[in-house]
Amino acid sequence: MSVTALLHAGLLVSDLARARVFYESVLQLTRDPNRPDLPYPGEWYDLGNGQQLHLMRLDNPDAASVRPEHGGRDRHIALGVRNMEALKSRLDAAGVKYTASKSGRAALFCRDPDANTLEFVEVS
């Protein structure tokens, strides 16, 4: 047995409409219309190469936890982007704060409206 891929990552959100604005308008992700009828609201987003991001409108069991200021020192998922400067411009325009990677890599971290941490790394 060997693990060969990360097929999807799931994030909890408290307000699905607010999350949709962030993921669709700011990050420009495309919804997958084939999400099955599950017993809770949510959205699936296609990331390419068979990978997806799943948003789940469920109660957050960690809602009271204190999160580190820098997302790179917190649980996070990393997403590849083709143009880091364009991403920065979109985050700036939306008023989304972000921090550069503390390791010196060309990466940045931000949080979605539910404080889920996202890392972005420029890929060619």
Task: Look up the CATH number of the domain holding residue 26.
Answer: 3.10.180.10
Q: How many domains is the chain built from?
A: 1
Instruction: Give the rounded percent of residues in the chain with a pLDDT score beyond 90.
Output: 74
pLDDT in tens, 81-121: 999 999 999 999 999 999 999 888 889 999 999 999 999 99
Q: Model-level pTM? A: 0.90
Quick check: is 114 in a domain? yes
DSSP 38-100: -SS-EEEEEEETTEEEEEEE---TTTTPPPPSSGGGSSEEEEEES-HHHHHHHHHHHT--EEE
Q: Which domain holds residue 113?
A: 8-122
Quick check: is 2 in a domain? no
Quick check: is 1 in a domain? no
Amino acid at 9: A
CA–CA dist 6, 83 (Å, integer): 22
pLDDT in tens, 33-53: 999 999 999 999 999 999 999
Quick check: is 90 in a domain? yes
